[in-house]
Amino acid sequence: MPTDNFLALHNARIRQVSSENRCRHAETGEDSSGEVETSQENTEGMLPVADFVFLDELLNANSAILNSLLMVLNERIFRRGRETFALPTLMVVGASNSLPQDEALGALFDRFLLRVRCDNVPTERLSEVLRAGWNRERTGTNRQSRLHVDLVRDLQKSLYEVELEPVLPHYSDLIRRLRLAGIKISDRRAVKLQRTIAASALLCGRMNALTSDFWVLRHIWDTDEQQEVITALVDGAMAAAGGTDQPGSHPRAQQSDAPNPETLAAELNRIATRLETPDLPASERAQLRDEVGLLASRCEWVTNSHQREYLQKEIQALWPRVNAPI
């Protein structure tokens, strides 16, 4: 389901069975098998009975925990010794203060379809946060959700009734363009992401997907550097198919963050540095050429004229280098 709605559902604590597990390195080698503590006799409020699971400091987990979590995410089952638990899990949210650097974490990170960076709220809304936080601490109460877990489960079952066929050619073309830009999207992941498109349609009250539902694909990045490129390609795909102007379009389809000039400058510097590599393969030079083209289109949207002109000069200096004969 789309990120904003699902994160809100996580906070609901529906039926008080959300599971919070702080995944930390085992302090002693023998202590722990690295598995999440649970048992058939006492699972109340723990992962085997959780509809919504929140895993804090996920990427600090040791290898044994990671293997257990892969089974949870892939098969919705959890094993401990001879015990096997069929999980009712509807959604898993992970949190981390850093992106994975270790390749061993790649498989786990890939299972989370969407990524959302949680920064501080805008300065102009800080007073609202302070007021809400103080009232919550003073009263010691949380807002109760009006959604019941059974409703969410029914919505998930309805995903497969959403008609995707009309947007599949556009979706296939977008996946191809993302791959050409160097964004790694496996066939497995491309198939799974169709659920997020269907969920966007469903939450708009539609049983047919529109290209405006592609907005959720802005959140499939693996690194900070990929965000600008992915946003440009996704927004371009929606615009080309008239996605943002269609009746019933998802409101988030028209909400795209303006490009960050510092991020664009860093990307251009990275490309310039890479072009200095002796005997750069032709395939990589072609990829860098595509990236420069995408960055050039993003630079047009920079609001500050001085920053925009500076970035455009940097791009003009890069074109002869990426197009240089091999």
CA angle, corner 153, sides to 149 and 154, nearest 5?
A: 120
- 151 neighbors 210 (Cβ within 8 angstroms): no
For residue 264, what are its two tokens? Answer: 């664009």
Instruction: Give yes or no: residues 151 and 8 share one domain.
Output: yes
Q: How many domains does the chain have?
A: 3
For residue 175, what are its two tokens? Answer: 């996946």
Range of the domain at 301: 261-322
Q: Examine the pLDDT at 273 and tell me if it is beyond 70.
A: yes
Instruction: Give yes or no: residues 167 and 154 share one domain.
Output: no
Model pLDDT, residue 31:
36
The pLDDT confidence band at residue 318, using thresholds 50, 70 and 90, is: very high
Q: Examine the pLDDT at 141 and tell me if it is beyond 80.
A: no
Instruction: Give yes or no: residues 123 and 7 share one domain.
Output: yes
pTM for the model: 0.65
Instruction: Give yes or no: residues 106 and 190 share one domain.
Output: no
Instruction: Give yes or no: residues 34 and 121 share one domain.
Output: yes
CA angle, corner 250, sides to 246 and 255, nearest 5?
A: 105
Domain boundary among 118, 136, 159: 159
Instruction: Give yes or no: residues 134 and 278 share one domain.
Output: no
Instruction: Give yes or no: residues 108 and 240 share one domain.
Output: no
Give 57-74 pLDDT, tens digit per residue: 888 877 777 878 888 888
The pLDDT confidence band at residue 302, using thresholds 50, 70 and 90, is: confident
For residue 172, what are its two tokens? Answer: 């296939």
Within a 13 Å sphere around the CA of 200, how many CA atoms are in the beta-carbon half? 22
Alpha carbon separation from 148 to 13, 47, 155, 163, 216 (Å, rounded): 10, 19, 11, 26, 24
Instruction: Give yes or no: residues 265 and 286 share one domain.
Output: yes
The pLDDT confidence band at residue 16, using thresholds 50, 70 and 90, is: very low
Query: Cα-flanking dihedrals φ and ψ of residue 57, to 5°?
Result: 50, 45
Model pLDDT, residue 257:
58
Instruction: Give yes or no: residues 181 and 39 share one domain.
Output: no
Instruction: Give yes or no: residues 52 and 189 share one domain.
Output: no
Give 74-97 pLDDT, tens digit per residue: 888 888 778 888 888 888 998 988
Query: Cα-flanking dihedrals φ and ψ of residue 226, to 5°?
Result: -80, -15
What CATH number has the domain bearing residue 80? 3.40.50.300
Give 213-239 pLDDT, tens digit per residue: 999 999 999 988 888 889 989 988 998
Instruction: Give yes or no: residues 151 and 28 share one domain.
Output: yes
Instruction: Give yes or no: residues 9 and 120 share one domain.
Output: yes
Encode burial over 13-46: b for 16+ CB neighbours within 10 A, e otherwise.
Answer: bbeebbbebebeeeeeeeeeebebebeeeebeeb
What separation, in Å, do the N-terminal and C-terminal C-alpha atoms of the chain show?
46
Distance CA 65, CA 243 (A): 42
Domain boundary among 95, 124, 159: 159
Which of 21-30, 89-98, 191-200, 291-300 is least confident?
21-30
Average confidence (pLDDT) over 290-300: 80
Query: What own/partner pairs with CB < 8 Å and gap ≥ 24 does 177-180 have?
Result: 177/233, 177/237, 178/230, 178/233, 180/287, 180/290
Domain boundary among 159, 187, 220: 159
